Structures are given as structure tokens and as C-alpha cells.
């Protein structure tokens, strides 16, 4: 049976229940609860020190939690040694054996499990073809590019048909063009094989473009776990609102009846189950209004001023100082930005759509 003939698997169900892990006085995981559906690709995303790598190491068996359970298809695997878990991990640093060929690296785990030589060779060849390296089996790691080495590492992880695939920032050592190509390949393989995958990254673009859902962590806790679209458009906490993408915080005033006045416009307030510290629909008071750069419309002439521009292909980002001193960012079509050079006086208005609020905080700019 070839790799592509392998019956489609639904993947394993994974649950993290009350995981806690401390290193001295430093708390890495603070009661982490998380569910991963069978066959899902879940990204763990957050700032340095948020606990995402510790969580992955607990899943792999390299760290033992102080408390909590890791349930794989209902079985708690915390007591199971790393080498006996039905999991596989791909590391940032490739971790290939330099004295082994690509094929022998892929087949290494099979050799440790006493699989016959002929079957090992066939399996390695199939997997190298699957990851786009057919004909490279006799090359040593130093004869391969970084992207090719990471493909070998991925093939090696898949060789044992694990129920759970763990990816520890596997693309961070690669250049930008190779990263884009390889993340598309990883996603294609993950979907094709139906394997449950947990992917740690510090790169928001990778997380939002690859994952079915993204778990945003902060201080060892889960801030929000949702689809990329929901995270971006409906952040559940102030931290997520500022961490995912770019968010402007503009002073406004809640005027009651679920409306807020901001930048000369009156807009409806979107209340997310009181998850953000939002003034209630019937409340009033000073607030910060959360506005994405693409939600601001900029026209020449007015009391705001452009202070900088940056080119982003079809769009350009303008940095603008509002009359009250608030610094905001606005994304406009590049052709429209040609006349909005630094020093140009402009008007800034929000698009007519619901907005999120954060109550009574000092005015800031873009996060």
C-alpha cells in the first residue's frame, strides 16, 4: 500500500484539561483548557513567554505538567513516555542526522521499530515523493537547501503515521518565499492525510493563513480560540484586539441606544457577550473605539495630517495625526495614496459599520 493509498483518517481528538506548569516562580501554563477536533490544524499563537512552546512540549512528552490531563482520543497520555506516544514532532532546527541520507533520515523511526529494510526503503521513497523530494533520497542534509531539509523532517515525522503531528515553528529559519511555499505544502499534506496537527508559531500571517482555528495565549492562559476571521473581526478580549493585526484606538463617546460618536460619525456598537470591557448598549461615557486601518476613509483636506506612508502592494498605509494628537494608521488603495504624502492635511472618517469599544481608557494610537 502506498502513502496515497492509505485510507483516509479522521484524525485523533485532543483535549487539554487544566494544564499547569511552573518553572520556579515563573508560571508557563496557568490552567490551560483547549479542545482540538479530529483532523483539525490548530495554531498556538502569542508573544514570547506566553506558554505556547511549553504547551507543545507537554503534548510531545518532553515536559510533564504539574497538574492537568492531555487526552488523546479520551486516553490521558501524560504518564506515557515521549517515545511511546503516537505523536511526531517537527522542529524549527530540522534536527536531521548529518551522517544519514535523506531517505535514511525519513526511515530512521521505522528502523527503530524493526520494520523490514525493503519496507523502510519503499516508505521513505513514497514520503519523499509526497513532500516533493523524489530523487533526493541519496543526498545528505548538507547537500539540501533549508526548505528541502524541512521537507525531509516533515516526511520523517509522517513516516510512523502518528495520530498527532506537532510543529514547533518549523518555518522560522527559512526565507520569506520558501516559507510561503512550504506552509502551503504543509497545509496540503495535513488536509490530505487528515492528521490532527498543533502548530506553534510567533508569525501571525502563518497562523491566520494555515490554521482552521488559532488559539491566542497570554501569560499561560487562553485568551481566545477561534477561526482566523473571527479573531480578526470579533476579538473576545482587549489583548486579542491589539495583538491580532493592527488596531487603532480612537477616542469616542457612547451616546446611548447602542451608538457611539467617533470622528464625526455615529456608529452602532457591537457587544461581544461582555467579553470586551464595553459600555453597555444603553450606557454613555468616554470610550476608546477600536478601528482597523482598512475601516478608515481618508480624503484630502481637513484638520488631520499625514506623517508617513509605507507601500504594501495594492494598498499603502498612511500614518496620520488626528487633531487631538491621536496617532492612527489607515490603509488606502496605493493609487489613491499618491497625493497623500507626508505633510498633507486630510480628513479621516470611519466606514459605516458596527464597532467595538473599550471603556474609559486613555487615548492611544494604533496597536
Residue 367 confidence (pLDDT):
57
CB atoms within 10 A of CB 102: 26
d(CA 49, CA 78): 22
State in words which class domain 3-233 has: alpha beta
Residue 336 makes CB contacts below 8 A (sequence gap 6+) with 298
Residue 99, pLDDT score = 93
Q: What pLDDT does residue 10 have?
A: 61
Cell of 24: 520556579
Ramachandran class of 154: left when φ > 0, alpha when ψ lies in -120 to 50, beta otherwise: alpha
Q: What is the pLDDT of residue 160?
A: 84
Residues 52, 55: Cα–Cα separation, whole Å: 5
With CA atoms as reference, report the closest residue to 41 among 222, 152, 191, 171: 191
CA distance 197 to 42: 6
The count of other CB atoms within 10 Å of the CB of residue 251 is: 18
pLDDT in single tens digits along all 367 residues of the chain? 343 344 344 689 999 999 999 999 999 999 999 999 999 999 999 998 999 999 999 999 999 999 999 999 999 999 999 988 889 888 877 788 999 999 999 999 888 888 888 988 898 998 888 888 888 989 999 999 888 888 898 888 888 889 999 999 888 777 777 788 888 888 988 988 899 999 999 889 899 999 999 999 999 999 999 999 999 988 988 899 889 999 999 999 988 778 899 999 999 988 654 445 554 445 567 888 999 999 999 999 999 999 999 999 999 999 999 999 999 999 999 998 988 999 999 999 999 999 988 754 443 455 5
pTM of the model: 0.85
Annotated domain spans of the chain:
3-233, 247-359
What pLDDT is stored for residue 115 in this prediction?
86
In CATH, what class is 247-359? mainly beta
Query: What is the pLDDT, as a whole number, of residue 274?
Result: 43
Amino acid at each position: 500500500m502506498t502513502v496515497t493509498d492509505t485510507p483516509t483518517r479522521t484524525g485523533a481528538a485532543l483535549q487539554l484539561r487544566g494544564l499547569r506548569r511552573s518553572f520556579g516562580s515563573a508560571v508557563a501554563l496557568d490552567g490551560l483548557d483547549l479542545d482540538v477536533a479530529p483532523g483539525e490544524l490548530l495554531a498556538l499563537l502569542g508573544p514570547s513567554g506566553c506558554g505556547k512552546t511549553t504547551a507543545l512540549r507537554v503534548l510531545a512528552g518532553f515536559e510533564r505538567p504539574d497538574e492537568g490531563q492531555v487526552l488523546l482520543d479520551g486516553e490521558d497520555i501524560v504518564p506515557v513516555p515521549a517515545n511511546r506516544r503516537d505523536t511526531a514532532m517537527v522542529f524549527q532546527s530540522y534536527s536531521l542526522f548529518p551522517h544519514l541520507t535523506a531517505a535514511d533520515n525519513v526511515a530512521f523511526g521505522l528502523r527503530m521499530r524493526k520494520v523490514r529494510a525493503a519496507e523502510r526503503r519503499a516508505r521513505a521513497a513514497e514520503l519523499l515523493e509526497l513532500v516533493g523530494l523524489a530523487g533526493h533520497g541519496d543526498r545528505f542534509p548538507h547537500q539540501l537547501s533549508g526548505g528541502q531539509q524541512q521537507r525531509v523532517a516533515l516526511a520523517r515525522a509522517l513516516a510512523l503515521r502518528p495520530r498527532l503531528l506537532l510543529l514547533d515553528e518549523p518555518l522560522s529559519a527559512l526565507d520569506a518565499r520558501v516559507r510561503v511555499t512550504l506552509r502551503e505544502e504543509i497545509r496540503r499534506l495535513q488536509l490530505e492525510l487528515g492528521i490532527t496537527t498543533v502548530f506553534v508559531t510567533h508569525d501571525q500571517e502563518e497562523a491566520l493563513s494555515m490554521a482552521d482555528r488559532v488559539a491566542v495565549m497570554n501569560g499561560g492562559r487562553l485568551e481566545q480560540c477561534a477561526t482566523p476571521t473571527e479573531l480578526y473581526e470579533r476579538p473576545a478580549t482587549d489583548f486579542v484586539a491589539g495583538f491580532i493585526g493592527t488596531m487603532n484606538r480612537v477616542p469616542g463617546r457612547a451616546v446611548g441606544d447602542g451608538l457611539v460618536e467617533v470622528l464625526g460619525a455615529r456608529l452602532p456598537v457591537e457587544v461581544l457577550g461582555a467579553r470586551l470591557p464595553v459600555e453597555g448598549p444603553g450606557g454613555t461615557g468616554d470610550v476608546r473605539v477600536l478601528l482597523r486601518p482598512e475601516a478608515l476613509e481618508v480624503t484630502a483636506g481637513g484638520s488631520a495630517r499625514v506623517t508617513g506612508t509605507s507601500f504594501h502592494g495594492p494598498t499603502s498605509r498612511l500614518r496620520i495625526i488626528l487633531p487631538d494628537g491621536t496617532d492612527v494608521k489607515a490603509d488606502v488603495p496605493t493609487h489613491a495614496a499618491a497625493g497623500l504624502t507626508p505633510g498633507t492635511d486630510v480628513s479621516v472618517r470611519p466606514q459605516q459599520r458596527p464597532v467595538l469599544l473599550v471603556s474609559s481608557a486613555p487615548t492611544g494610537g494604533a496597536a
